[in-house]
Amino acid sequence: MILTDSQIREEMKRGTIVVEPFDPASLGSNSYDVHLGRTLAVYRDEVLDARVHNQVDYLEIPDDGLILLPHRFYLGVTEEYTETHRHVPFLEGKSSIGRLGIDIHATAGKGDIGFCNTWTLEISVKLPVRVYAGMPIGQLIYFEVAGDVATLYRAKANAKYATRTDKPVESMMWKNFLPKEK
């Protein structure tokens, strides 16, 4: 079941959902709008390797916007820091963003219970498009779950994206190739 606006507010009062900063105008009937942060990242190399730590360069979006180009992959970040302790958060693009030809995630639209961080966006565009820091970029939808969670995401030893940041985080797939501790 998807939480409604009143249920999201109630869970925020309980502390099971945290959104910072919170703007009541961003609360929809059954979702919360998140906004594009000022920092984007692009990979340095044209060919990425899943076994190595691929490095990124950071770009700051100027006040007059930044033009994103097709055939270039960008990592963005939400302005909002979120915590979800009892629900499964899903990040979806807003329809207005999709109608500009902007995709905000390639595969990672679902968060885990216990995820506490900003959201890294996997941005690609169909046409050149100018984007601005602070523009609505996506919406969080919260799903109820059945049963208890044995281990929250932030408590997992192998949680690769648990360090709080205000910048996009590059792929940490390379950590899956490290020797397992015994």
| Active site residue ranges | 122
φ, ψ for residue 155, nearest 5 deg:
-95, -5
* Residue 59: CB atoms within 10 Å: 16
Look up residue 107 and give its amino acid: T
CA 93 – CA 33 distance, rounded (Å): 9
Look up residue 108 and give its amino acid: A
CA 176 – CA 182 distance, rounded (Å): 15
